[in-house]
Amino acid sequence: MVTSGKPQGAPEPAGESCRLPWPFDVYEAQCPTRMVLDRIADKWAVLILDRLRDGPVRFNHLRRDIKGISQKVLSQTLKKLERDGLLSRAVFPTVPVTVEYALTPLGRTLTDAVAAIAHWAERNMDAVLAAQAAYDARAGGDPG
């Protein structure tokens, strides 16, 4: 048991490092925006945030929808996103217990940008695939 009251995933001291007045600069290594960027620039976080756009979703529902995510990673990611104030967690004392996750107002301001990323991937997949094929043909099979 290594935790001293906090989950294993987020031992970073928040806010004390970068004392830039304003605005924050993501290009600065010590700026806290880097941490946020690292959080939201994450495949699973993107999918979760996008998934919650339609409304609250239960834990196992998210797990089923976001195919390939493990329970552990889902749990961790949800916790981090909750800590960042991007989503809220509501527990209903049913039996068995029901837990719903939903976007907070702050989270909602982000999901548009995040959804844009996900949708871009879907829309431009063909072009990316073609570019990869061209690159591989160039690098792998064309010595002369």
Partner DNA sequence: CAGAATCCTGTTAGATACTG
Partner DNA sequence: CAGTATCTAACAGGATTCTG
Task: Give the footprint of a second copy on this chain (CB under 8 A).
Answer: 2, 4-7, 14-15, 23-29, 32-34, 36-38, 40-43, 45-47, 50-51, 54-55, 65-68, 82-86, 106, 109-110, 112-114, 116-118, 120-125, 127-136, 139-141
Other C-beta atoms lying within 10 Å of the C-beta of residue 80: 19
Q: What gap in Å lies between CA 92 and CA 46, rounded to an integer? A: 26
For residue 70, the 8-state DSSP code is: -
The pattern of x and - marking residues 48 through 87 that bind DNA according to CB under 7 A reads ----------xxxx------xxxxxx-xx-xx--------
Q: What gap in Å lies between CA 101 and CA 73, rounded to an integer? A: 15
**Which listed range, 46-54, 91-99, 107-115, 120-128, lies at the site for DNA (CB under 7 A)?**
91-99
Cβ proximity of 82 and 88 under 8 Å: yes
